[in-house]
């Protein structure tokens, strides 16, 4: 009895000792993160309630910055564009990714590996660089796209892709999709590969065709992968900035402005740090609204095999 008691005390003591070690191990990471992310983040809300140009005292102005948002046309355009990019770039990327992952199942392994590697490769290229690369393609006089249209006899579709207000937003979506649709593809392919072959074979034996197998078996079973892909591409779309800077710089005449761009411009070009912080707060809220919607859309039955 006594022996067991001391044994328990001892293990409790040891556990406490390890907890102490654990805190020591944890401290560098938590300290760094608090100092350079959490602390500045905590400062955003007070900043958004003040007027400050970077010099002198901050002046508390209450909700004035938020009121000013309502009259700021460029803010609404930036918000609209950001949502547009998040929505279209994620939906198109995921649709293409799922399709190519599915098609990959019908290809010999070697060719499939080669194609997957190629299609995933642009994910490694920074968005700034892909933006600059596509300048070669969209440029009006010598661009690749206009050249191809000319060559295949569709010359009348030629346009200044990045200047024409009808084509500039879809062009930016296209560049983003080009860069990122390989990601949903590899994630979904990994999901598809985990599905037992016996399940598919028995479906074939029951007379199911390819399309039924895709919609009734494959897609429901890789739902978590589709959700994850949508989340990655959607967050990428919400944060789109580099690509736009490289392709259009926000132009023509602020038509392609996005939230991060308007935040940065207000902070560093106009030194309205308070207003930029109010924009940031709204941006964070928008991101979380998107995450909540995504969570709702994908909620529902979970399928297992």
Partner 1 sequence: MSTKSNMSMRIAAIAVSILFSLVILYPIVFIMMVSLKNNKEFYTNIWGFPQVVRWNNYVYAWYEGQIQLYAGNSIIVTVSAVAISLLFSMLAGYALAKLHIPKSELIVSILMGLNFIPGVAVYVPLYIQLIKFKLTKTLLMLIIPYAAWQLPFSIYIFKKFYATIPSEILESARVDGSGELRTFFTIITPLVTPAIATVIVFNFVSIWGEFLWANIASSSSNKIQTLPVGLLNFKGEYGIEWGPFGAAIITIIAPLFVVFVYSQKYFIQGLSAGAVKG
131-160 binders of partner 1 (CB under 8 A): 132-137, 142, 144, 147
SS3 content of the chain, % helix, strand, coil (to 5): 75, 0, 25
Q: At 40, which helix (H) or strand (E)?
A: helix 39-48
Contact (Cβ atoms closer than 8 angstroms) between residue 250 and residue 269? no
Stretch that binds partner 1, among 67-75, 85-93, 159-167, 260-268 (CB under 8 A): 260-268
30-49 binders of partner 1 (CB under 8 A): 30, 32-33, 35-41, 43-44, 47
Taking alpha carbons only, the member of 217, 192, 221, 193 closest to residue 206 is 217
6, 8, 9, 15: which one contacts partner 1 (CB under 8 A)? 15
DSSP helix/strand/coil, 179: helix
232 binds partner 1 (CB under 8 A): yes
256 binds partner 1 (CB under 8 A): no
**Which DSSP symbol is given to 214?**
I
169, 192, 228, 257: which one contacts partner 1 (CB under 8 A)? 228
Tokens matching residue 261: 């761009």
- Residue 5 or 302 having the CB closest to partner 1: 302
68-127 binders of partner 1 (CB under 8 A): 96, 99-100, 103-107, 111-112, 114-115, 117-127
289 binds partner 1 (CB under 8 A): no
Instruction: Tell me the β-bridge partners of 60.
Output: 50
> Can you point out the beta strands (E) in the chain?
50-51, 59-60
169, 183, 221, 257: which one contacts partner 1 (CB under 8 A)? 183
6, 53, 193, 210: which one contacts partner 1 (CB under 8 A)? 210
Contact (Cβ atoms closer than 8 angstroms) between residue 167 and residue 161? yes
Q: How many residues bind partner 1 (CB under 8 A)?
A: 97
Instruction: Tell me the β-bridge partners of 50.
Output: 60
270 binds partner 1 (CB under 8 A): no
- Least distance in Å: CB of 165 to partner 1? 23
């Amino acid at each position: 009895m006594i022996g067991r008691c001391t044994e328990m005390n001892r293990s409790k003591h040891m556990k406490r000792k390890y907890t102490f070690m654990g805190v020591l191990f944890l401290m560098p990471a938590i300290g760094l993160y608090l100092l350079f992310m959490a602390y500045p983040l905590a400062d955003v809300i007070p900043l958004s309630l003040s007027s400050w140009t970077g010099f002198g005292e901050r002046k508390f102005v209450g909700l004035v910055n938020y009121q000013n948002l309502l009259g700021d046309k460029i803010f609404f355009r930036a918000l609209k564009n950001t949502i547009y990019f998040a929505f279209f770039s994620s939906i198109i990327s995921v649709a293409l990714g799922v399709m190519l992952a599915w098609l990959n199942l019908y290809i010999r392994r070697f060719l499939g590996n080669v194609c997957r590697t190629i299609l995933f490769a642009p994910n490694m290229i920074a968005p700034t660089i892909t933006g600059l690369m596509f300048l070669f393609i969209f440029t009006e006089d010598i661009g690749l796209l206009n050249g191809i249209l000319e060559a295949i006899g569709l010359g009348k579709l030629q346009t200044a892709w990045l200047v024409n207000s009808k084509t500039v937003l879809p062009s930016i979506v296209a560049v983003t999709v080009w860069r990122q649709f390989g990601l949903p593809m590899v994630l979904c392919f990994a999901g598809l590969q985990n599905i037992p072959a016996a399940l598919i074979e028995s479906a074939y034996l029951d007379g199911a065709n390819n399309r039924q197998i895709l919609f009734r078996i494959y897609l429901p079973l890789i739902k978590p992968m589709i959700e994850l892909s949508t989340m990655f591409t959607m967050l990428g779309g919400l944060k789109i900035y580099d690509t736009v800077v490289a392709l259009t710089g926000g132009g023509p005449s602020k038509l392609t402005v996005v939230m991060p761009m308007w935040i940065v411009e207000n902070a560093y070009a106009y030194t309205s740090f308070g207003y930029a912080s109010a924009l940031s707060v709204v941006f964070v809220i928008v991101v979380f609204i998107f995450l909540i919607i995504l969570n709702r859309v994908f909620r529902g039955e979970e399928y297992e095999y």
